[in-house]
């Protein structure tokens, strides 16, 4: 497969931190694939996402390399990012239409009327009912799941090659999680986007991803095709993550004997 980006012994250390947030990571991200990155809080998942998206804070020390197959991507234009809390993406003082028009005009040569028409089309694409009416609405008028759909619309507005979803389903209930996962799958299929899906839920990752990478204590411990990794994990830590998943079909943990 064609590589979109390659991390070569990537190490990231935040200012003042005693230990690296990501250590000696080598990983290829293939064009058009859906790669899920799983692990415990603090394992380095979000750091990897931010490093690829060009969103590391000023003063962060980075060694090793991130190599792209083409010109370095532009955050917001070539890489779209969806965060856990749509409140991080939606300004309560702006209407939904103002958000989308601002992003579209910042990255694309569009007039205001054309940008507004495209904004309505984006809302329809993420399945927001009555897009024209939604353009005039405020973020607080939408449910958490709808707000996250709007945040996804913002992330894909400029037609990025890579979509980074950093814990984008973690704040949602399980039914809405499934809807958002289905939406991400649909958008990537239709637009040919690459997806980097960050989550602590390895079972959820398996429903979406082509491959799953497992991080533990800032290091990559296992990576492989999702079906193989979930069915026959090679590392004890990966087996522990699977064992910790609650099986909703029966009152026991996955991986334990009935």
Q: Domain ranges in the chain?
A: 3-253
Tokens coding 251: 């009152």
Q: Please, which residues have CB within 8 angstroms of residue 132's CB and are 6 or more apart in sequence?
A: 120
Q: Say if CB 141 and CB 114 are below 8 A apart.
A: no
What is the enclosing helix (H) or strand (E) of 65? strand 61-68
Q: Write the CA distances from 205 to 31, 62, 103, integer angstroms.
A: 18, 27, 29
| DSSP three-state, residue 43 | coil
> How do the pLDDT tens digits run along the chain, 258 residues long?
789 999 999 999 999 999 999 999 999 999 999 999 999 999 999 999 999 999 999 999 999 999 999 999 999 999 999 999 888 789 999 999 999 999 999 999 999 999 999 999 999 999 999 999 999 999 999 999 999 999 999 999 999 999 999 999 988 888 999 999 999 999 999 999 999 999 999 999 999 999 999 999 999 999 999 999 999 999 999 999 998 875 544 444 444 444
Separation CA 165–CA 148 (nearest Å): 11
Q: How many other C-beta atoms can be found within 10 angstroms of the C-beta atom of residue 189?
A: 11
CATH T-level fold of 3-253: Rossmann fold (3.40.50)
Phi, psi angle pair for 6, to nearest 5° = -130, 125
Phi, psi angle pair for 213, to nearest 5° = -110, 135
Separation CA 48–CA 29 (nearest Å): 12
The pTM score is 0.92
Q: Considering only CA atoms, which of 152, 172, 192, 141 is closest in space to residue 34?
A: 192
- The pLDDT tens digits of the residues spanning 182-229 come to 999 999 999 999 999 999 999 999 999 999 999 999 999 999 999 999
Q: Say if CB 257 and CB 243 are below 8 A apart.
A: no
């Amino acid at each position: 497969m064609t590589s979109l980006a390659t991390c070569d012994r990537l190490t990231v250390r935040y200012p003042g931190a005693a230990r690296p947030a990501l250590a000696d990571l080598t990983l290829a991200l293939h064009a058009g694939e859906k790669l899920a990155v799983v692990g415990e809080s603090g394992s380095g998942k979000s750091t990897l996402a931010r490093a690829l998206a060009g969103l590391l804070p000023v003063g962060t020390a980075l060694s090793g390399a991130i190599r792209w197959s083409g010109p370095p991507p532009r955050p917001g234009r070539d890489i779209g990012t969806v965060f856990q809390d749509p409140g991080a993406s939606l300004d309560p003082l702006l209407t939904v239409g103002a958000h989308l028009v601002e992003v579209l005009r910042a990255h694309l040569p569009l007039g205001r009327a054309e940008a507004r028409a495209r904004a309505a089309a984006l809302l329809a694409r993420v399945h927001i009912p009555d897009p024209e009416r939604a353009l005039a609405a405020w973020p607080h008028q939408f449910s958490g799941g709808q707000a996250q759909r709007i945040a996804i619309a913002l992330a894909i507005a400029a037609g990025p090659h890579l979509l980074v979803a950093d814990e984008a389903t973690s704040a949602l209930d399980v039914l809405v999680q499934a809807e958002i996962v289905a939406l991400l799958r649909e958008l990537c299929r239709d637009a040919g986007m690459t997806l980097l899906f960050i989550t602590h839920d390895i079972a959820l990752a398996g429903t979406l991803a082509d491959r799953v990478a497992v991080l533990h204590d800032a290091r990559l411990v296992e990576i492989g095709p999702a079906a193989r990794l979930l069915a026959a994990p090679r590392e004890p830590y990966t087996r522990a993550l699977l064992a910790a998943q609650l099986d909703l079909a029966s009152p026991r943990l996955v991986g334990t004997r009935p």
